[in-house]
Amino acid sequence: MVLLHGNDYCDKFSAEIFLKDFWGSLSDLNIFLISNAYVFLNNERLTGHRLLDFGCSPNLLGEIIAPERFTDIVMADLSPSNLDIIRRWMDGQKINFKWDHMLKFAAESCVMQMCQSGLKRKIAHLKTSVKKLVNCDAKKELPLGPDYVEAFDVVFTSFCLGSAAKSVAEYKQFLKNVASLLPSGGHLVMCGALNQMAYIVDNKRFHHLKLSMSDVKDALCNAQFEILEYEFECITLPESEPPEYSVFVLLAIKV
């Protein structure tokens, strides 16, 4: 089976099947990501109201668990079809996926204590706080293009850089490019995979760089980040190669 990568996401990646297979139920992976990323995004050390979700895929993970003080959110992805799923949902159009189970789990497990009316309010807040959907490319020195000169307060990124980079050297450079979107004192919340080499969506194999935690730490140091906290866990996922690998969530500050 051909290993897909890069611009293959623009015409060979099925956003709807990805959502169904990876986010259609509350797997151990999803529970780990939601629970830990929520803690880090709601950490009292994070300030400001501008949040960038870099490499968002067709997913609302970062937006669902972000505190409501983030009122200026930009969602960015390489694939136009991924952004189109988000755009259609925001416009109230019908898509073949619902995020209700994620919202409810986040509400129950993260002590958000939302009733049904609170969940509706959260959805309404998401649709007003996401200000822009833009294309991004981690390979570029200006990954959002030259129009974005204002820095963000927080960058959230989930599995993007490991999928984009073909080598550890590229991973370091791509993280450095993303770091340029944060000022000194800005925060990064990053989710990623360790020792994963590929994952399957719609019977298509997509590349993932095999990384160790040491590789990730070196890349963060190279991009002038200091890790404040991190968590990792071993996961079994049939759609992954190998099916047993580790995932991490970390909080870092740009120094």
pLDDT reported for residue 121: 77
d(CA 162, CA 65): 22
Q: What is the pLDDT of residue 118?
A: 63
Nearest Cα to 41, choosing from 8, 4, 66?
A: 66
pLDDT less than 70: residues of the chain: 109-119
Give the per-residue pLDDT at 92: 87
CA distance 209 to 212: 10
Closest to 187 (Cα-Cα) out of 33, 44, 58:
44
Q: Which two tokens stand for residue 231?
A: 């968590």
Q: Per the structure block, which two tokens stand in for 105?
A: 């789990």
In sequence order, what DSSP letters do the residues of 127-142 get, joined into one string?
Answer: HHHEEEEEE--TTSSS
Tokens (6 digits) for 56: 């968002």
Q: pLDDT tens for residues 242-252?
A: 999 999 999 99
pLDDT computed for residue 50 by the predictor: 97
C-alpha closest to that of 29 among 196, 203, 233: 233
Number of H helices, E strands in the chain: 10, 11
* Dihedral sign from CA coordinates of 58, 167, 219, 227: positive
What pLDDT is recorded for position 116?
52
The CATH H-level superfamily of 3-254 is: Vaccinia Virus protein VP39 (3.40.50.150)
199 neighbors 14 (Cβ within 8 angstroms): no
